[in-house]
Structure 1
Amino acid sequence: MVDATRSVMLPSQPALTAPDGIVVCGLGGLGQACLSSLLAFNLPIRCIDREPPKWVDLAQGKRLLDVTLLGDMRNPEVLIEAGVASARAVLLLSQDSGVNLEAALQVRLLNPKAQLVVRSSGGSSSLERQLQDRLPGLAIVDPQLLTAGIFANALRPDGTEAAFDVEGELFVVRSTLQQQAASRDLFDQLSRLQRLVQWFPIDGAPGGPPASGWWNLDAKPAAGDRLLWLELASTLETRPRAHRGQWAVLWARFRLLFESCQEATERLKDRRNSLLSWGLLSLLLLLFVGSFLFGNASPLRGLMLTLALLKGEYLDAFSFIISGSNNELSPAHFPLAALALIYALGGTLLTAWLVALILDRLLAARIGNQEPKPMVAGTPYVLLLDGGPLAARLEQQLRLQKFQVVRVQENKPEPLAYPSLDRALRSLRHCRCQAVGVLSEDLMANLSVALELQQRWPGVRLAVRSHSLSQSSNFNALFEGMQVINPLEVAADAVVATALGERVRGVLRLAEENLLITDYKVNSSDTLQGLSLGTVAGGYGLIPLVLIGYGAIKPIALPNPERVLQLGDRLVVLASLAALRQVEAGNLKKRCWCLELRSLRPNAPIFEVQIALARYLGSVPGDMAKYVDLEHGAQRTAPLYQVPGRLLEQALKRLGVDCELVDATTCEA
């Protein structure tokens, strides 16, 4: 056990008074996953937990033992002892969002400049929104919602690897298997609306992480290679499905009602529902007895009077019963009056029950807490079981991609969701289930339901939410056709990126790696200012998705690599946590290519050639004159990244320049 009154740094770690120190408060599943990501950056770290943590990785626990304090994260003395006053960022990751917010206020008093990351326990409360708006440097994250995209992609039944939307644009990641050796190199396979995410050569493992651009675009894929392509989908795909005709929906309702009546009849025959059987028999007996008691030798008259009594009309019906006796009430009529009264009281209860049933349906329809409308027979759908806010976010993403979604929420009924799985399965018996997400917080209950549904639908895709399994992706091998996903484990990279000052929109899981959808706004001190998007992609190893120019309204999806970032521009990228760290530090990769200019055709437009060179080399046209002076032999440009180099090569060849992109190791800087 570690004493909260002392704090000893590991010999290999710098003091936490350094400006890049990180304090992690709350060492549950999310806290330990964040520590694993932070340790890869060799940052000075301190930890706070109320009780000795139960380490999933014992080696990590031993490594962090001497920098872990035991105490309440809301206690100023504990925070000061942990070095919060000089920390760069503080992660408040307790499962109780109220504790996290209270601790955040204490941290802000001790350190006005630190980046604060507060874990939300589900649903954005008014207090969380108010604090996030009023306190600068405070980011509230919900790890469940951050990873909704991973669940959505695990449930996609269309064969694509992933799909996500940014600024109203839909992006799709597709996997293609090379059937034969390619005749074109990778660069020629690129297009305006397509980017390469990962290349899996058949003869070995990938040479780098996805989206990093580690590959040589001059290479040609061999037969058996697998490629992941990011494509901009048609905007039509973001539109919802056209609704089926009303007649088809009405026919589906009638069919379900008819089959429900058949099932009720079968249950009566099999005597499985004794209460319903006795109730029906009792009603028939009452009608039969009343027809003879109240009919005065006319069974039809007696039946009508019995129905009137069951409706609750006592005086009028009884007066009609004794009408043959000159409407005079005698003691001989008392037994008949008592029996008629019993009929009337029972009928009143029956009428009240029917009225209550009708009102319940009407109120449910009025407040929106009704079951979903029946779907036409054969309609494919995705089934989501429980999940609360996570299921709501999943439904939104899947519907945007034109999938029919059906939700079941058993513990907390929600509008347009079935109250039970059995009820949903009965209503959807004629439809086709393509994927099931089991999203409750109980892993064993999730596995039980998932295995039962997998036995019912052998080919269905299954995604199971886990809270207790570390490295849950390793457990997928135990259950064929099922993906076990731990949101806390997956969201760790997004939480760490937020602590480092990034604005993370979501997380994707591609090629066994976590990729973050991150939003940048270019300012005067930003390392991205003045760089072309080709340099950003090649130098930092990321994929620019959407660019919104300063003052512009319409976003540009998959913008041109030659576009230069200016102050006020907003850029959304797809990148790993390591790549975002390089952007923050301004550590560009080495430029490995240069363009060799060999000759010009006689009528080549020299000034246009200089403009093209200046645009890609980040200079002015006047400085490019030395590259077009070819009297003394070929000239080589300053080093470039491969994509801008190939684009410059194409542009110069169109202008009549004989040139070629060559290895930069032989180029002059």
Structure 2
Amino acid sequence: MFQEITLFLVCGLGSLGQHCVMALKKFGVRVIAIEQTIPKTWDFPEFPQQLEELIIGDCRQIEILERARLQKCRSVLIVTSDEEVNAQTALTVREINSQIRLVVRSGQENLNQLLNQQLGNFFADEPTQLTAAAFALAGLGDETIGFFTLNNHRLQVVKHLVKSDDPWFYRSDKLHELNNKKRHILAHFSEPSLNFQGFNQWEANTQLKPGDTLIYVELVEEFFQGLSSSLSKSRKQRHQWKDKLKKFINRFKLELWQLGSFSLLRQVRTVILVCTILVLLLLIIGTFLFNSYYPETTLLSGFYATVILLLGGYADLFGDFQPVSSMPPWLQFFALSLTIIGTVFVGVLYAALTEALLSAKFQLLRTRPPIPQKDHLVIVGLGKVGQRVASYLNEIKQPQVAITFNPDFDRTILPNIPLIIGNLKESLTQAHLSTAKSIIITTDNEMLNLEIALMTRLINPDSRLVIGAYRKGLSERLTLLLKNTQVISSYSVPNQDAAFDGSNAISRISGCNLALARSLMKSFPKTLPMPFYQHQAQYLLRELSKFLIKAELIDLFDH
């Protein structure tokens, strides 16, 4: 039993891993470490002597973890510099040991929450963000020495020095009287004995005196819950009205954001903004200049004159060849500048609008079908693989919706399929993921695939999940953790495509039944039962070679 609770495993011996080992050793526990290569230098000269055992190898491999006595470890700290390696190692560790505590280095908050829900007994964070708690504690003052969340309740640990004017000193004679529903005393020691003796070592009937020190845990958010429950009915209705107004404003902002993301506006909004600001500035300057130089005119007349000049009407005001003696040359030059600037910016605005309209002509001409409400397929990722999958499903008239996270995706591609472009969470919501029958993940980012898979299982546990894996390891572990999941690795996709295309070629060139051709492709190596003319056979060989299928001719007269 002693071995089971005092043995820890650390994967990755960079600077963070070494500091973790040294911190664990302060608690008197034994530490085993895994590292791919021995570092040339250690941050601590005595570091090698602190390890129970140093194993050189890949921490993602099951045999390495078993050699590190994973089954006997209390916790494993996965702190390599590669977040993908850390996630894959965490999945492998949970496969071997379903109870061990997992501490993982990862800065991806959403993925960390999903892994925590899926794996259990799991903690992950980025080391650079861990200092936030230290800054918060420092800002709270000397008394608060820690805080944590338990069952959606915020609690804090406080170290309090009792003073003579402390309200507690007058309300309670005995130490146990300080305990209530919100506060529990953990430790108490008086001024002569300042050494901490451990939790719950205090005497219940001890008399509280000034100078005593208390350490207690306190619930800090129940007050707000109680306050909300004591609100009057009118105040509750007022809060509900404010919540509805807030939701409406957020919805309006979302609509504006979606409108601003439309390609037509995105291309011209900068030009329109610059033009508007400059025209307004020139209107103000011109109006005040003409009004100040000609006192008999009004501001409205000066405004109209400036507008005429900005629209190219210089000849309407100064069209005669006779010099305008009543106007100084600089003001006449300013009037000419207004006409030139106005003409230039109107031309630029027309050019930008024309270019945007030409680039968006396909978007304006065709509208995509609506997003299905239920029993549909969701394709996440529209690279080459995703586009081909969508095309196949479209050919057999399957209801589907495609999601891409690329804002510059060519919207003329797959025009007959509903398309969603946006961030991950909003896109999955718009795709009605909770009522979909299948989700197909085809992005080339395995960490993103893992995150989407975990979110899918959280939203729709019963759906069919298909994940594209581009190398063995991370995604393939999901089949052991997520039910109703299929992983299609990159090395198996070409074989499936080749079998499909090869059977079509055999059926087309030989004239045999397509079912027979597919049966032959599934039972390689095989001899085709039908005879071919020489040129016909050579043509078939050339077609099969395009799909990386190796075939050879057999002379019937030699057999």
| Same fold (TM > 0.5) | no
TM-score normalised by L of structure 1:
0.33
Q: Looking at both structures, which has the greater relative contact order when contacts are Cα pairs under 8 Å and sequence separation is at least 6?
A: 1
TM-score normalised by L of structure 2:
0.39
Give the structure with the higher percent helix: 2
